[in-house]
Structure 1
Amino acid sequence: MSSTKLTNITRSRKIVDSLLYQCDIIINGDKPGDIKVHNPQFFKRVLKEGSMGLGESYMDGWWDCEYLDSFFYKLLNKRIDSKVTGNFHDAVYYVVSRIINLQSISRSRKVARVHYNLGNNLFESMLDPWMQYSCAYWKDAYNLEQAQVKKLSLICDKLMLKPGMKVLDVGCGWGGLASFIAKKYNVSVTGITISDEQKKLAEDRCDGLDVVIELTDYRELQGKFDRIVSVGMFEHVGLKNYDIFFKKMHDILTDDGLFLLHCIGSNQSGGGVDPWINRYIFPNGRLPSIQEIVSCTEGRFIMEDWHNFGADYDMTLMAWDKNFLDNWEYNKKDYDERFLRMFHYYLCSCAGAFRAREIQLWQVLFSKNGVRGGLRVAR
């Protein structure tokens, strides 16, 4: 290796060392969150490519960390990501997401192809029996299944379901919520998804219940519904479609109806999804801010309740990661080692972000005209 390359590597390492030291992370240390670097090119790659370089170099086996969730918590708790800015990949995504509608109807199914159609067996081995791929509610819960049932019950309590109601589940996933509602509350449910794999399993799960699962985009919906619920779907709508989404929800909700939005949220307006997450996990996704939600719902809905339990997503993601790793021997016939590292990195990096309160989880309850006497909202 030439002396110039060695000098560049040494300089890059000093910069990375300094940044990590501010977060109490030591290279080749032995504390939770410390990392082991196997390829000296790692330092230059991270400084040049930002989050993309960090994630891809992990996938390539250039570095390891026994407790990835702690590593990301320490990074994000000190907001160290804001000190590594200006790299090409991050800048391109930022600009493109504002110029182009990345979540048009023609582009919207990409996330299904890349992520939700990875294989039902993978998700069945990772999730709870109700196949809930969204934040659980851990109040008085001691395991993932209990916490997800509490989340389902919390949603139903907030919606004040009554027999005979027509309920719309926007982004119904594998049909867990739809089947839970139909069984326990004697209501009619329409669930929509853009994933073929999810539709197949959702239909099997809801067989014999008053549930219809449709493969359709929310923009194509027709009819009227007494209750609308959307869990973990709004993150795929995109800034340019927020107004369209809320207009559609308003149009199809009955005048005395309720609409519950369950979504991950950003602390700041104008942001976007991490570029590595965008490329490998959720293409064309975007996290809304409070202001962005409010600006599109003002004049359409009355906000009856806003509930933040983002800290519970940390525990949810860590439970998923444990299930994912525990079942790897079963799943590895269908996926390679690079996929293992990618998925583990995804789950732990998100857990660290929620632990640092970098991102949030909101349940927002809307009515059209206000509920007479107000609501005593479940918690």
Structure 2
Amino acid sequence: MIPGLSFLGGLIRSGTLVVNDDQGRSHRFGDGAEPRVRLQIHDAAFLRRLPVNPSMALGEGYMNGQFDIIEGDVRALLDLGVKNYARSTSHSHRWPIWTLKLLNFFYQHNPRNRARRNVAHHYDLSDELYRLFLDTDRQYSCAYFQNPNDDIDTAQLQKKRHLAAKLLLEPGQRVLDIGCGWGGLGLYLSGHADVDVVGVTLSEEQHKVARSRAEQAGLAAKADFRLTDYRDLNDRFDRIVSVGMFEHVGLKHYDEYFRKVFDLLTDDGVALVHTIGRTDGPGTTNAWIRKYIFPGGYVPALSEMMPAIERAGLVVTDIEILRLHYAETLRHWYQRFMVERDKVKALYDERFCRMWEFYLAGCEASFRHWGQAVFQVQLARRQDAVPLTRDYITDIEREWAARERRREMHVA
């Protein structure tokens, strides 16, 4: 039997995968139950390569049209594959820690020039692309679903409100947003809390859009977006927030990152780091993701973050784990992407569309079945920088929600 078919036979035990090979033969794997996915193989080289490097072979095979999905879709295929793979592996199958350290030292080296190139690879794509599948505020990070039926705009607003509550904002404070994206969070904070925000990004596209949005909203004096590296800042800030940026720092730069946060934070300040994380300990970045989507990216385990936080002299005042929120976020993004797929294809091409389908669907499957979550780590210099209990988070969220409703009624 072709090695790839033997590999699939050992992997797929739950659900059903049917593979039509390029010779007209059909092969069924699994227990015959739903979900059911059927592939049509066009190039036998794909099956030969599959056991050697499954994620790379599957991703490139789909991108390059070596196979098509004729029953189900790429989201169903990856959910089936990742779910079965997660059930078939355990901690005993993990790579030795010395191997992980060696690989990550090589792949996570992100000095300033490389960090800028890595950011440009993903975030300097067409602004129209992100507009097509993100929410109206272009929040490109995990949303916060207080209700399973929340739409993506509601969930992203709730995320911003949740972050704001943990920052304990007061009028007149200075807030630093490290990795400010298209400016949505900075504009939300400056517009709702009467604080002055400095947002920094390495993406020229994001910087351009963020500055334009600040001008249009009449907040340019309150929201200052800069095209610069956070390591080049020397000011002090009452609050620091970083959402979806820490994944790009690189393991060997964690000490540098948290020491800079310590240096930039006022003595009574509060910082909040929102990052994708691993719940099953240190690992290495998926080869396909590293090559095509996030070069230089790495998702940390808490055990990798905490030593650097401690060495920097920062106090951990709160940690929250958002488990399936990002899976739901990615489900919404995938569905919106597919609705607008023809427009994306007009911007790029069919291969690009397949690449992004695979990326969004694969990430969703990882958050559902494979030890991925989101960490919100609240930090301070002093033990007494935040209240003794977490009740204040809910109280502030409700206060902001009521304020937003009153504002909407006034506008209407």
Q: Could you tell me the TM-score, scaled by structure 1's length?
A: 0.90
Q: From 253, 275, 279, give the equivalent of 1:241.
A: 253
Match of 1:24 among 1, 5, 15: 15
Output the CA distance in 2 between the equivalents of 1:100 and 1:341. 25
Match of 1:77 in 2: 83
The counterpart of 2:45, out of the listed 32, 41, 66, is: 41
Of 207-216 and 33-42, the range deviating more from structure 2:
33-42
SS at match of 1:298: helix
- 1:364 Cα deviation (Å)? 1.0
* Cα distance, 1:93–1:336 mapped onto 2, change above 3 Å: farther
1:205 is aligned to 2:213: yes
1:272 to 284, 300, 317: 284
Equivalent runs, 1:76-225 vs 2, <5 Å: 76-79=82-85, 95-99=102-106, 102-140=109-147, 142-207=150-215, 208-209=218-219, 210-225=222-237
The 3-state SS of whatever aligns with 1:167 is strand
The amino acid across from 1:26 in the alignment is: L
The alpha carbon displacement at 1:32 in A equals 3.2
Amino acid in structure 1 at the alignment position of 2:363 = C
Q: Which runs of 5+ in 2 are unaligned?
A: 20-27, 395-412
**Residues of 2 paired with 1:267 and 1:124: CA distance?**
31
Per-residue deviation at 1:180?
0.5
Tell me the alpha carbon deviations over residues 171-225 of structure 1, each in whole angstroms, 9 at most, x when there is no partner.
Answer: 0000000100011011000000000000000001111311111111121121100
Matched residues in 2 for 1:378 and 1:289: separation? Answer: 25
Q: Is the 8 A contact 1:17 1:27 kept in 2?
A: no
Q: Is the 8 A contact 1:71 1:352 kept in 2?
A: no
Give the Cα separation in 2 of the matches to 1:332 and 1:294: 42
- Report whether the alignment pairs 1:15 with 2:30: no
**Structure 1 position 288 matched with structure 2 position 300:** yes
Contact residue 174 and residue 198 of structure 1 kept, 8 A: yes
What is the DSSP-based 3-state SS (H/G/I as helix, E as strand, rest coil) of the residue aligned with 1:303?
Answer: strand
Deviates more, 1:109-118 or 1:179-188: 109-118
Q: Under a length normalisation based on structure 2, what TM-score does the superposition of the two structures give? A: 0.83
**Aligned partner (choices 52, 55, 59) of residue 51 of structure 1:** 55
> How do 1:314-353 and structure 2 match up within 5 A?
314-353=327-366
Q: 1:94 to 1:335 in 2, by over 3 A?
A: farther
Superposed CA RMSD in Å reads: 2.3
Q: Secondary structure at the match of 2:354?
A: helix
State how far apart, in whole Å, the 2-side matches of 1:362 and 1:46 are. 33
Aligned-residue identity in percent = 35
User: How far does residue 33 in structure 1 lie from its aligned partner after superposition?
Assistant: 5.3
1:93–1:275 CA contact under 8 A, matched in 2: no
1:291 CA drift (Å): 0.6
Change (3 A) 1:198 1:25: same
Count of residues in Structure 1 that have an aligned counterpart in Structure 2:
364
1:34 CA drift (Å): 2.0
C-alpha distance in 2 between matches for 1:284 and 1:184: 35
Give 3-state SS (helix, strand or coil) of 1:332's partner: helix
Checking the alignment, whether the CA contact within 8 Å between 1:170 and 1:231 is kept in structure 2 is yes
- The 8 Å contact of residues 55 and 286 in structure 2, kept in 1 or not, is answered as yes
Letter in 2 for 1:311: L
Q: Which residue of 1 aligns with 2:388?
A: 374
Q: Shift in Å at residue 153 of structure 1?
A: 0.3
- In structure 2, the residue matched to 1:5 is none
1:327 deviation in Å?
A: 1.4
Superposed counterparts of 1:304-323, under 5 Å: 304-323=317-336
What amino acid is the match of 2:320?
H
Superimposed CA distance per residue, residues 103-132 of structure 1 (whole angstroms, 9 cap, x where no aligned partner)? 111110122221101111110111111110
Q: Which letter maps to 1:301?
A: L
> Residue 401 of structure 2 aligns with which residue?
none
For the 8 Å contact 1:178–1:206, the answer to whether it is kept is no
Change in 2 beyond 3 A, CA 1:97/1:367: same
Separation in structure 2 between the aligned mates of residue 342 and residue 319 of structure 1, nearest angstrom:
17
Shift of 1:230: 0.2
Contact kept in structure 2, 1:20 and 1:26, CA below 8 Å: no
1:358 Cα deviation after fit = 2.1
